[in-house]
Amino acid sequence: MVKFVFHNKSFTLIELVIYLLIMSSLGILTMLVFYGITFYSNVYLDKILLRNEMFNLLYRLHLNSIIATSTEVSSSSIKFNLNPEGYERFFLSNNKIYFEDQTTSTPYTSDRIKVNNFEINTTSNFYHIFIKLSDRSNNHSLSLTTTLYLWSF
């Protein structure tokens, strides 16, 4: 006849429940860490992209405002006439800012962003350009008004 033996070294139900609770907490915390890193990495990359695009645009506009001999402005385009006979024109079309010169007309902004606004107003020799950029999914946007002074003679 087989003798029934009790083992005292196994887990009790309470120990198992506590173990599962601790492991679940660790799992949740770890998930939270990964979620946070992924979420903020995406936000960071979107913001950096918007900032870099905006900086490139501002830099080019400000440089042209210094070296241009004259400008031609409409509500959504600005043309810098450059010495001796060239020009650079920036205009809004299909949610992109295009760059046009004597030979080419190409998008100046990246495919990964949308240009929601590119509005130009003038006061005397001062130009106010309102620019609003957003990412393709419209989760993040960056808008500002930049002021140019036309240095033409």
Partner 1 sequence: MLKNGQLLLEVLVGILILSFLSLIIFLIFNFLPEVINTIDESIIIYNLALNYKNILLGLSRTNYSLFEDLIYNQPYYLITTSSGYEIKIGKEIINEYGYYRWFELIDDSLIKVYLQTPNNFYNFPFSLVNIREKIFVQENWQIATTGVIRVEEISNQYLEKSANIEIDGQIRLSQ
Contact set with partner 1 (CB under 8 A): 22, 25-26, 29-30, 32-33, 36-37, 40, 43-44, 47-48, 51, 54-55, 58, 62, 65-67, 123-126, 142, 144-149, 151
Closer residue to partner 1 (CB): 16 or 105: 16
CB of 41 to partner 1, least distance (A): 9
| Residues 133 and 54: beta-carbon distance below 8 Å | yes
Position of tokens 């900086």?
55
| Cα angle: 105, vertex 109, 112; to 5 degrees | 130
Tokens of 42: 């995406």
Closest to partner 1 by CB, 75 vs 121, is 121
The DSSP letter of residue 153 is -
What is the DSSP code (8-state) at residue 2?
A: P
Minimum separation from the CB atom of position 4 to partner 1 (A):
23
Q: How far is the CB of 144 from partner 1 (least distance, A)?
A: 5
User: Is the CB of 73 or the CB of 142 nearer to partner 1?
Assistant: 142
In the complex, least distance from residue 99 CB atom to partner 1, rounded to whole angstroms: 20
Q: Which is nearer to partner 1, 66 or 105 (CB)?
A: 66
* Cβ-based neighbours of 141, under 8 Å, separated by 6 or more: 50, 116, 132, 133, 134, 135
**How much helix, strand and coil, in percent to the nearest 5, is found in the chain?**
35, 40, 25
